């Protein structure tokens, strides 16, 4: 593989896979442009070197959300929604091709001049994208001279534009973009020989989603802090009463086995001592704080409690490396946001004291953004599922394809 800095982009057309799968509101306005902003340095670099950039991305899952007539909802999922914003951010000419393959794409790509950008329509408008179809990948590859993958958020998908397309570029004609490089570098720094003590914080609703991650943490963590609804499956494993909290009854054994493995490995696992409970799942629920193993029937744990928040924050503040994936509670509801807030603030405080702190995974990232703390931690990943799989130690197909 090549490094982006070692490729000469002059008069070249770079085919760049970005992850512009950004949230849009009902009027199709971008509500969080982080993923676009983070991809700008790569695009700018190509243009500044005298090259042109052909950008391809997916947006949402259009094939899973067909309209009433069974057709793709192009109005909703078109990448056209991003053109104006891109022009503004790049201060460059941004053209749009209303199909990512075929005559229009080929013609517009061929007409690109140095310093110009062409944004291709949603790659997922073709089922060949997710199927990793070779013919479709070849058509995409034919548009550019060089392939740059900067779509870390989609690197866990072996799709045509993220993975298969790379086969049609020789080694010194493909590379990662700057964002991809940074994501890999930071996650690797956290996982390989991290400075101790290492604290891994995880939350979210399901043990089944996070068990692989938890087991990988056993390899290098000193402390594992577990919040979110998944904590109540652990409480069940410890024979606690969890009322109506969300649990996975079929994962109680998994949780019990994990606690045993952690003990054998000498890794400290902290479960929330207390919980902020609600009498229903909603912003307007009645609220009371209960010990997490004595939640009354009719009540459910929706956030870690104040004493748990204090002890979690204490451990985080004393750490030299922190990896955080998953919120502590339903932080979208103010009554259940304090636990996640406490963790975010403790991460910021640890960073200030010189710790390396990394936040990955969609919901915890949304939390640090909402709290305006993103700049106060060492690194915020643009990957949700991709970062989770990377931290689980999996080889992501989009990364492997560049190395091959
Ligand atoms: C994401 O937001 O998770 C990525 O863009 C990948 O999207 P996907 O989960 O629909 O493959
Ligand atoms: Mg996803």
One DSSP character per residue, 64-100 reads TS--TTSS--HHHH-GGGGHHHHHHHHTS-EEEESSS
One DSSP character per residue, 10-62 reads TTPEEEEE------B-TT--BS--HHHHHHHHHHHHHHHTT-EEEEE---S-T
pLDDT in tens, 65-88: 999 899 999 999 999 999 999 999
Tell me the average pLDDT across 303-319: 98
How many Å apart are CA 144 and CA 110, to the nearest integer? 9
User: Ligand 1 atom closest to Cα of 21?
Assistant: 5
The strand pair at 241-242 and 287-291 is best described as unpaired
**Proportion of the chain above pLDDT 70, given as a percent:** 100
The answer to whether residue 5 scores a pLDDT higher than 80 is yes
What tokens does 7 get? 């490729």
The answer to whether residue 305 scores a pLDDT higher than 80 is yes
Please say whether the beta carbons of 79 and 115 come within 8 A: no
Residue whose C-alpha is closest to residue 330's, from 278, 392, 265, 259: 278
- Res 25: pLDDT: 94
The answer to whether residue 152 scores a pLDDT higher than 90 is yes
How many Å apart are CA 301 and CA 229, to the nearest integer? 7
Q: SS3 of 341, please?
A: helix
How many Å apart are CA 303 and CA 339, to the nearest integer? 6
Q: Give the residue numbers marked as catalytic.
A: 35, 206, 362, 385
361 lines ligand 1 (CB under 6 A): no
The strand pair at 13-17 and 52-56 is best described as parallel
> Which of 153, 159, 180 to probe ligand 1 with, by most ligand atoms within 8 A of CB?
153
- Res 369: pLDDT: 86
**Proportion of the chain above pLDDT 90, given as a percent:** 94
Instruction: Give helix then strand counts, H and E, for the chain.
Output: 15, 17
The answer to whether residue 14 scores a pLDDT higher than 90 is yes
Tell me the average pLDDT across 79-99: 97
- Nearest ligand to residue 156 Cα: 1
**Residue 167 alpha carbon to ligand 1 centre in Å:** 22
How many Å apart are CA 291 and CA 300, to the nearest integer? 12
385 lines ligand 1 (CB under 6 A): yes
Query: Which pTM was predicted?
Result: 0.92
Q: What's the longest Cα–Cα distance across the chain?
A: 68
Please say whether the beta carbons of 293 and 240 come within 8 A: yes
- Nearest ligand to residue 21 Cα: 1
Residue whose C-alpha is closest to residue 61's, from 44, 73, 52, 70: 73
397 lines ligand 1 (CB under 6 A): no
**Residue 385 alpha carbon to ligand 2 centre in Å:** 5
User: Ligand 1 atom closest to Cα of 61?
Assistant: 10
CA–centroid distance for 119 within its chain: 23
Residue owning tokens 């000193």: 222
**Residue 309 alpha carbon to ligand 1 centre in Å:** 31
pLDDT in tens, 312-368: 999 999 999 999 999 999 999 999 999 999 999 999 999 999 999 999 876 888 888
What tokens does 23 get? 């949230």
The answer to whether residue 99 scores a pLDDT higher than 90 is yes
What tokens does 329 get? 């509670």
What tokens does 307 get? 């004493």
CA–centroid distance for 370 within its chain: 16
**Residue 384 alpha carbon to ligand 2 centre in Å:** 6
Residue whose C-alpha is closest to residue 283's, from 340, 344, 233, 329: 329
Tell me the average pLDDT across 133-150: 98
Neighbours of ion ligand 2 (CB under 5 A): 385
Beta bridge partners of 357: 322
pLDDT in tens, 385-397: 999 999 999 999 9
**Residue 190 alpha carbon to ligand 1 centre in Å:** 23
CA-proximal residue: ligand 1, atom 7 (nearest): 154
CA-proximal residue: ligand 1, atom 1 (nearest): 153
pLDDT in tens, 211-266: 999 999 999 999 999 999 999 999 999 999 999 999 999 999 999 999 999 999 99
CA distances from 28 to 22, 240, 335, 365 (A): 10, 46, 30, 22
The answer to whether residue 60 scores a pLDDT higher than 80 is yes
Please say whether the beta carbons of 163 and 279 come within 8 A: no
- Nearest ligand to residue 77 Cα: 1
Compute the mean pLDDT over every residue in the chain, rounded to the nearest whole number: 96
Please say whether the beta carbons of 391 and 142 come within 8 A: no
The answer to whether residue 1 scores a pLDDT higher than 80 is no
CA-proximal residue: ligand 1, atom 9 (nearest): 385
- Res 4: pLDDT: 97
123 lines ligand 1 (CB under 6 A): no
């Amino acid at each position: 593989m090549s490094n982006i800095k070692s490729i000469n982009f002059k008069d070249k057309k770079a085919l760049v896979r970005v992850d512009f799968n950004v949230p849009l509101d009902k009027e199709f306005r971008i509500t969080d442009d982080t993923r676009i902003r983070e991809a700008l340095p790569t695009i700018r670099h190509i243009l500044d070197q005298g090259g042109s950039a052909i950008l391809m991305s997916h947006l949402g899952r259009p094939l899973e959300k067909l309209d009433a007539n069974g057709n793709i909802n192009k109005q909703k999922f078109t990448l056209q929604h991003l053109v104006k914003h891109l022009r503004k951010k790049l201060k460059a000419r941004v053209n749009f091709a209303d199909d990512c393959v075929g005559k229009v794409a080929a013609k517009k790509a061929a007409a690109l001049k140095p310093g110009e950008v062409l944004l291709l329509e949603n790659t997922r408008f073709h089922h060949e994208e997710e199927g990793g179809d070779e013919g479709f990948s070849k058509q995409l590859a034919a548009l550019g001279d060089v392939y740059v993958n900067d779509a870390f958020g989609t690197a866990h998908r072996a799709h045509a534009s993220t993975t298969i397309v790379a086969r049609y570029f020789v080694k010194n004609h493909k590379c990662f973009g700057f964002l991809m490089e940074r994501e890999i570098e930071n996650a690797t720094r956290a996982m390989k020989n991290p400075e101790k003590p290492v604290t891994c914080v995880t939350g979210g609703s399901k043990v089944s989603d996070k068990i692989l991650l938890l087991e990988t943490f056993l390899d290098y963590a000193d402390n594992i802090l577990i919040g979110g609804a998944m904590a109540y499956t652990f409480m069940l494993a410890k024979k606690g009463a969890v009322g109506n909290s969300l649990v996975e009854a079929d994962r109680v054994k998994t949780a019990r086995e994990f606690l045993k493995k952690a003990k054998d490995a000498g890794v400290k696992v902290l479960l929330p001592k207390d919980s902020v409970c609600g009498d229903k799942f909603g912003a307007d629920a009645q609220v009371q704080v209960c010990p997490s193993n004595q939640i009354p029937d009719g009540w459910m744990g929706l956030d870690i409690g104040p004493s748990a928040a204090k002890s979690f924050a204490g451990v985080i503040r004393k750490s030299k490396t922190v990896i955080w994936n998953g919120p502590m509670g339903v932080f979208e509801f103010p009554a259940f946001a304090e636990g996640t807030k406490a963790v975010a603030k403790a991460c910021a405080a640890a960073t200030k004291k010189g710790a390396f702190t990394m936040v990955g995974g969609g919901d915890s990232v949304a939390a640090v953004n909402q709290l305006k703390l993103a700049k106060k931690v060492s690194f915020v990943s643009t990957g949700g599922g991709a970062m989770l799989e990377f931290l689980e130690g999996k080889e992501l197909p989009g990364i492997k394809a560049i190395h091959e």
